[in-house]
Amino acid sequence: MGRVIDLDEAAAVLARRRTGWQAAGLEVGPLTWRDAEASWPQPLETDRARVLDPDSVGVVVSGAGDTVLSVVLFRGGWADVDFIDGADDMGALPASDITSAQDFGARLDRWIARVFGSPEKVG
């Protein structure tokens, strides 16, 4: 798999947003890492130091009314983005051709707004 995204830079993007999300009333889970060199099935690690060759980083963000956004970014430039917005709205959001950690951050902001609404509505 090609390395398009520096996952440590993407983790820094997530870390910069964590405080704001929490201030808006969202619960932010720990970052999870997957090591490309680990034996199958590859376990998810929350300690970055345990991952020698990261091929993904993920986070789960939860809000009121069982609203959840799960994002797993892969170093190849795509992400698995799934959401549940109450009982009636759930699915996957488009997340391909991500070119950088900054591009990921911009998309992440749109995904958060799509699932949780504006910051005024979140808290």
Give pLDDT tens digits for 51-106. Answer: 999 999 999 999 998 899 999 999 999 999 999 987 788 999 999 999 999 999 99
- Residue 65, pLDDT score: 85
Answer for the pair 22, 5: CB distance below 8 angstroms, yes or no.
no
The DSSP element (H or E) to which 70 belongs, if any, is strand 67-74
pLDDT tops 80 at residue 1: no
Reported pTM: 0.92
The residues, any chain, with a CB within 8 Å of residue 56's CB and separated by 6 or more, are: 7, 33, 34, 72, 73, 74, 75
Q: Tell me the per-residue pLDDT of 7-31, one tens digit each, with 9 for 90 and over.
A: 999 999 999 999 999 999 999 999 9
